[in-house]
Amino acid sequence: MTSTMIRASGLTRHFNVKKEKVEAVSGLDLHVEHGELVALLGPNGAGKSTTLRMLTTLLRPTSGTALVAGHDVSTEPKAVRRRIGYIGQGNGAGHSQRASDELISQGRAYGLTAAAAKERATELIGTLGLDAVAGRVVSSLSGGQRRRLDIAMGLIHTPPLLFLDEPSTGLDPQNRANLAEHVRGLREASGTTMVLTTHYLEEADQLAERVVIIDHGTVIADDTPAALKSAHAGDRVSLLFDHEHDARKATATIGTFAGTAPIRHQGSGIQVELRDGAQLTPKLLRALDDALVPVAGVEVARPTLDDVFLSLTGRSLREGEPGSEGTVA
Amino acid sequence: MSGSTFVSDTGAVFSRELRPVLRDPFSVIFSMVQPLIFLALFAPLLPDSVVGGSALQWFVPSILVMSCLFGASATGSNLLFEIQTGSHERMLVSPLSRPALIVGRALKEIVPMFAQALIIVLVAVPFGFRLNVAGALLGLVILGVFSVGIGALSYTLALASKNKEWLFWTVQQTVLFPVLLLAGMMLPVEGGPAWLRTASLFNPLTYVVDAQRALFGGELMSATVAGGLAAALLVAVAGLAIGTRAIRRAGA
C-alpha cells in the first residue's frame, strides 16, 4: 500500500435546490498521508460534510476523482467501504437494539465471523468504557454513551482510515473532552489515519495535527494550526494607559513596530496586531519608556484559528452559530 | 457482487432485524391489535348466510392475511426512523450488498407473521374454528412469500418518503384499506356491483385470501391455491425488484 490515504482532485458536487444549482463543493483537492490526523474546518454550509460524504461513498461526486485507501470512490465503492470506518452526524446504533448486539451486527456487516465479531465487540466495549451499558437498549443510553458506541462501531473492523463527521456536536463540554481523549488515545494505540470535520475551533486546534480550512466548497488554507496562525494572524497586543492623552502620545512609537497593521484606539487603550507580538512586546515597552509614555498594563493574546479565518475571508467562523448545515450539507 | 456475499450479507441484515423481535417478543402483538378487534367485534356480526357457510371459517383466514398485511406494510416505519437517526447511513457506508439491505429486512417479516398466525389460530379454535393442518402449513408458506413482498414495498415507501414521515403513513393508510376491501376480506365481493368485482380481479390480495380459505378448509390441490401462490410470488418478486432498485438509487 502506498503512503497516501486520500487523494482527491477537482472534487465537485452540485445539488439542485428548488430548480437552482448549488455548488456545495467545487474543485476541491485534498491529499492525506497515512497516519495523519486532519481536521476539515469551516463554517456551516462550507461543504465539509458534503466532501466527507463523497469520500465515504455516500454521495457520488458530480465531477472529479477521489482515491480513498487506494480505491476509487466512484468505480470501486465496495473496496473503499471495506477499508474505512465512518462515524456520521447522527447515531449509528438502532434505537431498539441493544448496544452489544449492534456492535456484533456491525462486525457481521464487515464480514467478520460471529465469533470474531463478538470478541472484537467485547474488546471495544472495554476500550470505550461501555461495560455498564452494553446490555441496554440504545434508546436508554445518554448522548455521550451513544457517541462512544458510534466510535466503537466505526472501529469494529479495525479500519486503517476513520472518518468522523462533526463528532462532538450536541455533546456537553465534559463529554466533548472525553471524546477528544478517546480519539487521541486511539491514535496513539493504533496509528489510524483520521479525518474529522468540525466547526469548533478549539476542537480543531487541540486535536488535529493538520487543519484544512474549507470555505465555499474549496480549500482556502491547509497547514498545522501553529503554522496557519503565524502565517495568517499576528498576536493581539492590548496596551492600557492611565490617560487618553498618553494613549495618543504612544501612537507614533507603536506605529514604528506595527508597520501597516491598523492601530485601534478605545478610550485610554490601544489594540494592535503584531506578528511575533510576544517577542516584540518587551521592546515596545522599553521604547515607550524611552518616549516617556507610562504604560499601565499590557496583554498579549495568541491568535486563534478564528483569527486565521477572519484574515483569510474577512468573516468570522463564529458567525451564524449556532446554525444548521442546511439542505446543501 | 458474488453470490456467497449476498447470502451472508442478507443473513447479517436478517439477524439484525430479527434480534429486537426475539429480545422483546411482545412487540409482535402491537400490529395484531386491530385484526384481533375485527375478529372479536366484526366476526360475530357476519351472518353465515352472507358468506355461504360458517362465518368463522370464512373470516379467520381473512384475519390471518389482515394481520400479515398490517404488520408488513408498517415495517417500513422502522427503516424510516433509522434513516432519520443515522443508523441506515451507517449501514450504507458498510460493504453490505445493497440488495441484501432490502432482502434481509423483508425476509424478517416471515417470523412475526408466523407468530401472529399461531396466536390467531389459537384464539379462534376454542370458538369452533376447524383447520386442516397440511393446508394451514401450505397457507403459511404462501403468506410468508406474500409478507416478504409487502415488507419490501413498505421499505421502498420508506426510502421514497425519506424525512417525510407523514407521507409514509398517508400512502400506507390510503392504499391499505381499498386493497383490503377489494379483496373481499371483510365481506364477499360476489354480491357487489360489476365494477367492484372487476377491480377485485386485479387485486393480488384477492387470490391470496381465497387460497387461504381453501387451504385452511382442506382443499390442497386446486386452481385457487395455485392462484394464491402465484399472486404471492408476483408481489414478492415485484416488491424485491422495486426495493432493490430504490436502495441502489438512494445509496449513491
pLDDT in tens, A173-218: 888 888 888 888 888 888 899 999 987 787 888 888 899 999 999 9
Torsions phi, psi for A237 (to 5 deg): -100, 125
Out of A82, A98, A153, the one facing B90 most closely (by C-beta) is A153
Out of A58, A78, A81, the one facing B89 most closely (by C-beta) is A58
pLDDT over 70 (residue B235): yes
Give the sheet arrangement for strand A297-301, strand by strand.
Answer: A263-266, A269-274, A235-240, A297-301
pLDDT over 60 (residue A144): yes
How close A31 gets to chain B, by Cα (Å)? 21
Which chain A residues are closer than 8 Å to B2 by Cβ?
A: none
Contact B20, B82 (CB under 8 A): no
CB contact (8 A) between residue A94 and residue B20? yes
Out of A82, A91, A109, the one facing B86 most closely (by C-beta) is A91
Contact A211, A304 (CB under 8 A): no
**How far is B249 from A97, CA to CA, in rounded Å?**
27
Query: Scanning every residue of chain B, which has its alpha carbon at the shortest distance from the alpha carbon of A109?
Result: B96
Residues of chain A whose beta carbon is less than 8 angstroms from a beta carbon of chain B are 56-60, 77-78, 81-82, 84, 86, 88-98, 101-102, 105-106, 108-111, 153
CB contact (8 A) between residue B9 and residue A93? no
Contact A82, B95 (CB under 8 A): yes
**How far is A161 from A86, CA to CA, in rounded Å?**
9
Which chain A residues are closer than 8 Å to B95 by Cβ?
A: 78, 81-82, 109-111
Helix pair A244-258, A277-290: axis angle to 10 deg: 130
Q: What SS3 class is residue A104?
A: helix
Q: A72, A103, A105: which to substitute to probe chain B, counting the most B Cβ within 10 Å?
A: A105
Mean pLDDT of A44-72: 93
- Smallest CA-to-CA distance from B15 within A78, A109, A92, A112 is with A109
Mean pLDDT of A63-83: 95
Which chain A residues are closer than 8 Å to B83 by Cβ?
A: none
**How far is A119 from B13, CA to CA, in rounded Å?**
20
CB contact (8 A) between residue B89 and residue A97? no
Supply B222's cell numbers.
Answer: 386446486
pLDDT confidence of residue A326: 38
Residues 10-39 of B with CB under 8 A from A: 11-13, 15-16, 19-20, 23-24
CB contact (8 A) between residue A92 and residue B16? no
How close A228 gets to chain B, by Cα (Å)? 33
Q: A108, A153, A195: which to substitute to probe chain B, counting the most B Cβ within 10 Å?
A: A108
Q: Is the peptide bond before A322 cis (omega within 30 degrees of 0)?
A: yes
Lowest mean pLDDT among A141-145, A322-326, B121-125: A322-326
**How far is A86 from A315, CA to CA, in rounded Å?**
31
Q: Is B173 on the interface with A (CB under 8 A)?
A: no
Contact B68, B116 (CB under 8 A): yes
Cα angle B59, B62, B65 (rounded to 5 degrees) comes to 155
Return the DSSP state at A149.
H
Return the DSSP state at A98.
B
Q: Is B85 on the interface with A (CB under 8 A)?
A: yes
Out of B81, B87, B251, the one facing A92 most closely (by C-beta) is B87
**How far is B231 from B243, CA to CA, in rounded Å?**
18
Query: Scanning every residue of chain B, which has its alpha carbon at the shortest distance from the alpha carbon of A89?
Result: B86
Cα angle A242, A245, A247 (rounded to 5 degrees) comes to 65
Which chain A residues are closer than 8 Å to B23 by Cβ?
A: 98, 101
Cα separation values, A207 from A181, A317, B110, Å: 9, 18, 48
Q: Is the pTM of this model over 0.95?
A: no
- Beta-bridge mates of residue A181: none
Average of per-residue pLDDT values in chain A: 88
Supply A124's cell numbers.
Answer: 471495544
Residues 59-78 of B with CB under 8 A from A: 78
Which chain A residues are closer than 8 Å to B247 by Cβ?
A: none
pLDDT over 60 (residue A124): yes
How close A181 gets to chain B, by Cα (Å)? 23
**Category of B96 on φ-ψ map: left (φ > 0), alpha (ψ -120 to 50) or beta:** beta
- State the pairing for strand pair A37-41/A193-198: parallel
Out of A60, A84, A109, the one facing B252 most closely (by C-beta) is A60
Q: What single string gives the DSSP state of each residue in chain B?
A: --HHHHHHHHHHHHHHHHHHHHH-TTHHHHTTHHHHHHHHHTGGGS-HHHHTS-HHHHHHHHHHHHHHHHHHHHTHHHHHHHHHHTHHHHHHHS---HHHHHHHHHHHTHHHHHHHHHHHHHHHGGGT----HHHHHHHHHHHHHHHHHHHHHHHHHHHHHTT-HHHHHHHHHHHHHHHHHHTTSSS-STTS-HHHHHHHHT-HHHHHHHHHHHHHTT--SSHHHHHHHHHHHHHHHHHHHHHHHHHHHHH-
Question: From the CB of residue B167, how many other CB atoms can be counted at a distance below 10 Å?
Answer: 15
Q: A57, A73, A83, A96: which to substitute to probe chain B, counting the most B Cβ within 10 Å?
A: A96
Mean pLDDT of A303-317: 82
Selected residue with higher pLDDT from B27 and B205:
B205
Helix pair B55-74, B76-85: axis angle to 10 deg: 20
pLDDT confidence of residue A201: 80
pLDDT confidence of residue B168: 95
pLDDT confidence of residue A323: 40
CB contact (8 A) between residue B89 and residue A98? no
Is the ipTM higher than 0.90? The answer is: no
- Smallest CA-to-CA distance from A251 within A265, A230, A261 is with A265
Contact A217, A8 (CB under 8 A): no
pLDDT over 80 (residue A240): yes
Residue A103 parent element (H or E) = helix A99-109
CB contact (8 A) between residue B89 and residue A90? yes
pLDDT confidence of residue A33: 94
- Smallest CA-to-CA distance from A192 within A108, A60, A264, A87 is with A87
Give the contacts of B242 (CB within 8 A, at least 6 positions apart).
Answer: B152, B153, B156
Given pLDDT bands bounded at 50, 70 and 90, which one contains residue B252?
Answer: very low
CB contact (8 A) between residue B89 and residue A88? yes
Query: Scanning every residue of chain B, which has its alpha carbon at the shortest distance from the alpha carbon of A139?
Result: B85
**How far is A128 from A151, CA to CA, in rounded Å?**
8
Contact A68, A55 (CB under 8 A): yes
- State the pairing for strand pair A84-87/A161-165: parallel
Given pLDDT bands bounded at 50, 70 and 90, which one contains residue B82?
Answer: very high
Q: A97, A98, A104, A113: which to substitute to probe chain B, counting the most B Cβ within 10 Å?
A: A97
Query: Scanning every residue of chain B, which has its alpha carbon at the shortest distance from the alpha carbon of A114?
Result: B12
